[in-house]
Chains A and B, each alone.
Chain A
Amino acid sequence: MFQETVTILESRQIADNVHTLAFASEQIAGATRPGQFLNIKPNSSLDPLLRRAYSVHRIEGDRVEIIYNVVGKGSAIFASKRPGDPLDVLGPLGVPFHYEGEYATAILVSGGVGIAPMPVLGAALELLGKRVINIHGARTAGMIANDGRLIDPRFATDDGSLGFRGNVVGALEHYLEQEGDSDLRVFACGPNRMLSALGGFCTARGIALEVSLECQMACGIGICQGCPVEMGTGDRKYTLICTHGPNYDFRDIILDSLPSVH
């Protein structure tokens, strides 16, 4: 992990309330693995005080990109950044997705800005020779955050304005009925409610599910102990999402122990 003041290359809005920010860093681009995150200071002010944690969305050469919703003081500052502005970035952080192993198809399920880790994960899975399918959901077509980087995308919208009408769990069920795929794993990122519903579905069908959790963090490196998730297995009651996660086998955690983020 590195702490680096980088230079912003691009800052833009790509969908309703969905923004991306790209910067150049050879060392962060080179070291980041699928599912890892960055902890970024909005500016050098004491208010907002803390860094903000974001998954790495894309890596191209030494260009690193994050994707986010504007939800508060920190993200509003990110949205006002312009190319050339400096950015204080700490990362890459966290344990990557556990995506190696014997299986044929990886289904990457994301909701809203839960799309964040999927392009980097998809690319790594293709290198391993896996078949990759993305199922991405949002409330309506205008909020779909796809920027053309998802491999084999299927969309789901609550209002049916794009793709499957319904949520991503319905879309996954629909896909499985159509394709009859069985040698698969699901990787998911999105609101806790979505992960919870998906977890129920996958558990009932015996499908392996790894979830990437979002939560408020202070340090991102294990020293503040501020980001616990309750464990359903093992001998520890809690692990820290920053250093033990953010990517967990769904069966290992008690998702309902977490406060909902949005």
Chain B
Amino acid sequence: MPSTEITIRNVTFRNPVLTASGTFGYGLECEAFLDVAQLGGVVTKSISRKPRDGNPPQRIAETTAGMLNSIGLANVGVDVFLQSKLPLLRERGATTIVNIAASSIEEYCEVLEMCEEHEGVSGYEINVSCPNVKDGGLNFGTHCPSVAQITRELRRRTDKMLAIKLTPNVTSIGEFARACEAEGADAVSCVNTFIGMAVDVRTRRPKIATITGGYSGPAIKPIALAKVYEARKAVRIPIIGIGGIMSAEDAIEFMIVGASLVQVGTALFIDPAAGVKIARGIEKYLVEQKIDSVRDLIGSLDTSMQPSLVAAGWS
């Protein structure tokens, strides 16, 4: 069988497919549908120091092959997470990456330090890019010196895997990826949601309460792929590819462009077991293509020839 393992810093993921933050709860809600230990890893909902209520309804709207969300980082807070969620994830054998959101550098540090004292945390993903709360990170995420400072402060406080989740809502994502790499991040997650909007033409009201929200789903995949490609050219650290992955083929595209791991998000709302199915699909592809290791896919994009018509969909 081909090898599907990917190692970043001191974490070995059994396969390259993780659940994206905010799309899989705390990893325990979907046990009727899958065994979380079969995933490459679980990235938790963004955890903040104190519990957050989140935004008022309407929080979601469907768009063409995509959706808008404006959840507003609703979460139980780090105390409840560490007491009642993390031990269960550990018990079930999940590789758990804690996603942290905060409204100050001190808060990021405090939440991370609290997590450091508990067993069962494999690493961190830092949300510097939530588009849906005023103080939830996007202000940090679009300001390169802030991203650099957050990375630096957190790197000093942990030896565990540290990934920074970047927003695509900037002119040059490569610049942000370079800042993270320079400050010691182990990986960058590309990308968080795009800022999007939808209007009900009968009422002339926005379809979500915060007017604009985070745009996700298969519609954004080509834009997300281009962001991963840009980051790949900018840094040598691993990239975690995210954006509209619905199938194994989508995930493989991200890896060929340069992602070492991928995250599945919106797809889980349609099929909670999508992550496990995509991981199996990648393995099947490796067997069919006679590829020994999933690592051989990473950054294997061949730009030496013109795109084939088959690849462009005119088969």
Partners in one complex: yes
Interface positions of A (Cβ within 8 A of B): 1-3, 41, 46-51, 215-219, 221-230, 236-238, 243, 257-259
Q: Is B1 an interface residue (CB 8 A)?
A: no
| Contact call B54/A238, Cβ cutoff below 8 A | yes
Bound form: Cα–Cα A218–B58 in Å: 12
Enumerate chain B residues within 8 angstroms of A51, measured Cβ to Cβ: 269-270
Interface positions of B (Cβ within 8 A of A): 22-25, 29-30, 32-33, 45, 53-54, 56-62, 64-67, 69, 71, 74, 209, 217-219, 246, 266, 268-273
- Which residue on chain B has the smallest CB distance to residue A226? B60
Name the distance in Å between A31's Cβ and chain B's nearest Cβ. Answer: 11
- Which residue on chain B has the smallest CB distance to residue A224? B269
Q: What are 23 A-B pairs at a CB distance below 8 A?
A: A3-B272, A3-B273, A46-B219, A47-B64, A49-B270, A50-B62, A216-B62, A219-B268, A221-B29, A221-B30, A222-B25, A223-B24, A223-B29, A223-B268, A223-B269, A224-B23, A225-B74, A227-B59, A227-B60, A228-B56, A230-B56, A230-B57, A257-B56
Bound form: Cα–Cα A218–B23 in Å: 10
Interchain CB contact (< 8 A) of B269 among A218, A230, A259: A218
Bound form: Cα–Cα A2–B270 in Å: 13
Bound form: Cα–Cα A257–B59 in Å: 12
Enumerate chain B residues within 8 angstroms of A243, measured Cβ to Cβ: 29
| Contact call A49/B65, Cβ cutoff below 8 A | yes
Name the distance in Å between B267's Cβ and chain A's nearest Cβ. Answer: 9
| Contact call B58/A216, Cβ cutoff below 8 A | yes
Given the contacts A3-B271, A223-B23, A223-B269, A216 and B60 also touching, CB distance less than 8 Å: yes
Enumerate chain B residues within 8 angstroms of A47, measured Cβ to Cβ: 64-65
| Contact call A222/B29, Cβ cutoff below 8 A | yes
Enumerate chain A residues within 8 angstroms of B217, measured Cβ to Cβ: 46, 49
Enumerate chain B residues within 8 angstroms of A222, measured Cβ to Cβ: 25, 29
Total A-B pairs, Cβ < 8 A:
97
| Contact call A49/B218, Cβ cutoff below 8 A | yes
Bound form: Cα–Cα A226–B218 in Å: 18
Bound form: Cα–Cα A164–B34 in Å: 51
The 8 closest A-B pairs by CB, nearest first: A226-B60, A237-B53, A219-B269, A218-B269, A223-B25, A46-B65, A47-B65, A225-B71
| Contact call B32/A257, Cβ cutoff below 8 A | no
Bound form: Cα–Cα A160–B71 in Å: 43
| Contact call A41/B54, Cβ cutoff below 8 A | no
Enumerate chain A residues within 8 angstroms of B71, measured Cβ to Cβ: 224-226
Interface secondary structure of A, over-half rule = loop
Bound form: Cα–Cα A3–B130 in Å: 31
| Contact call B218/A219, Cβ cutoff below 8 A | no
Name the distance in Å between B174's Cβ and chain A's nearest Cβ. Answer: 29
Given the contacts A3-B33, A47-B64, A47-B65, A227 and B57 also touching, CB distance less than 8 Å: yes
- Which residue on chain A has the smallest CB distance to residue B246? A46
Interchain CB contact (< 8 A) of A46 among B32, B57, B58, B218: B218
| Contact call A218/B60, Cβ cutoff below 8 A | yes
| Contact call A49/B266, Cβ cutoff below 8 A | yes
Enumerate chain A residues within 8 angstroms of B62, measured Cβ to Cβ: 48-50, 216, 218
Name the distance in Å between B223's Cβ and chain A's nearest Cβ. Answer: 15
| Contact call A225/B54, Cβ cutoff below 8 A | yes
Interchain CB contact (< 8 A) of A50 among B29, B54, B269: B269
Name the distance in Å between A199's Cβ and chain B's nearest Cβ. Answer: 18
- Which residue on chain A has the smallest CB distance to residue B68? A226
| Contact call A50/B67, Cβ cutoff below 8 A | yes
Given the contacts A46-B246, A47-B64, A41 and B270 also touching, CB distance less than 8 Å: yes
Given the contacts A49-B65, A49-B218, A221 and B272 also touching, CB distance less than 8 Å: yes
Enumerate chain A residues within 8 angstroms of B66, measured Cβ to Cβ: 49
- Which residue on chain B has the smallest CB distance to residue A229? B57
Bound form: Cα–Cα A49–B71 in Å: 19
Bound form: Cα–Cα A237–B56 in Å: 10
| Contact call A228/B25, Cβ cutoff below 8 A | no
Bound form: Cα–Cα A237–B75 in Å: 12
- Which residue on chain B has the smallest CB distance to residue A243? B29
Enumerate chain B residues within 8 angstroms of A219, measured Cβ to Cβ: 268-269, 272
Given contacts A3-B273, A221-B29, A238-B53, 12 further A-B contacts (CB under 8 A): A3-B271, A46-B217, A46-B246, A49-B218, A216-B61, A219-B272, A221-B272, A223-B25, A223-B29, A225-B71, A226-B59, A236-B53
Enumerate chain A residues within 8 angstroms of B33, measured Cβ to Cβ: 3
Bound form: Cα–Cα A224–B266 in Å: 9
Given the contacts A3-B33, A223-B30, A257 and B57 also touching, CB distance less than 8 Å: yes
Bound form: Cα–Cα A46–B24 in Å: 20
Name the distance in Å between A241's Cβ and chain B's nearest Cβ. Answer: 9
Enumerate chain B residues within 8 angstroms of A217, measured Cβ to Cβ: 60
Bound form: Cα–Cα A218–B246 in Å: 15
Name the distance in Å between B67's Cβ and chain A's nearest Cβ. Answer: 6
Bound form: Cα–Cα A47–B217 in Å: 10
Q: Which of B24, B25, B33, B270 has the most CB of A within 10 A?
A: B270
| Contact call A228/B269, Cβ cutoff below 8 A | no
| Contact call A228/B57, Cβ cutoff below 8 A | yes
Name the distance in Å between A193's Cβ and chain B's nearest Cβ. Answer: 15
- Which residue on chain B has the smallest CB distance to residue A221? B29
Interchain CB contact (< 8 A) of B57 among A41, A50, A259: A259
